[in-house]
Amino acid sequence: MKSRFASALAALFSTLALTTSCAAHQHDLVDLQVVDRDNGRVLEILHRNGRAYVAGEPGHRYAVMMQNKVGERVMAVLSVDGVNAVTGETANPYQGGYVLGPYERAEINGWRKSMSEVAQFVFSAPEASYATRTGRPQNVGVIGIAVFRERAPVYVPPPPVYRDDRYDYGRKAQAPSAMNEADAMAQRRAPEAAASAGAMKRSDGGYAERERSEDYASELGTGHGQREWSQVGSTEFERRSSRPDEVVELQYDTYEHLVDRGVIRQPRQWPREQPRAFAGFVPDP
Q: What is the reported pLDDT for 78?
A: 97
Dmax over CA atoms of the chain, in Å, equals 123
Beta strands in 13-155 (DSSP E): 30-36, 46-48, 51-56, 61-68, 74-80, 83-84, 98-100, 105-108, 110-114, 117-124, 142-149
Nearest partner of 242 among 187, 212, 205, 188, judged by Cα = 205
The pLDDT of residue 17: 32
For residue 265, give the amino acid letter. R
Residue 252: burial class (beta carbons within 10 Å; 0-12, 13-18, 19+) = buried
Model pLDDT, residue 269 = 56
Q: In the prediction, which pLDDT does 177 show?
A: 43
Q: What is the mean pLDDT of each run of 10 residues along the chain (285 residues)?
A: 44 34 65 96 94 96 97 97 96 95 96 96 97 96 97 81 55 43 46 37 35 64 96 93 95 94 75 65 68
Residue 9: name the closest of 68, 69, 76, 88 by CA: 76
Q: How far apart are CA 221 and CA 131, in angstroms?
A: 8
Closest CA to 203 of 118, 93, 126: 93
Please tell me the predicted confidence (pLDDT) of residue 165. 53
The closest alpha carbon to 79, from 226, 249, 276, belongs to 249
State the pLDDT at residue 163. 63
What is the bridge-based pairing of β-strands 117-124 and 61-68?
antiparallel
Sort 142 into a burial class: Cβ within 10 Å, 0-12 / 13-18 / 19+.
Answer: buried
CA distance 245 to 148: 5
Residue 158: predicted pLDDT: 82
Rounded to the nearest 5°, which phi and psi values hold at 141? 105, 15
Sign of the torsion angle spanned by Cα atoms 217, 219, 225, 228? negative
At residue 153, the pLDDT reads 80
How open is the CA angle 252-123-77, to the nearest 5 degrees?
65
Does the predicted TM-score (pTM) go above 0.75? no
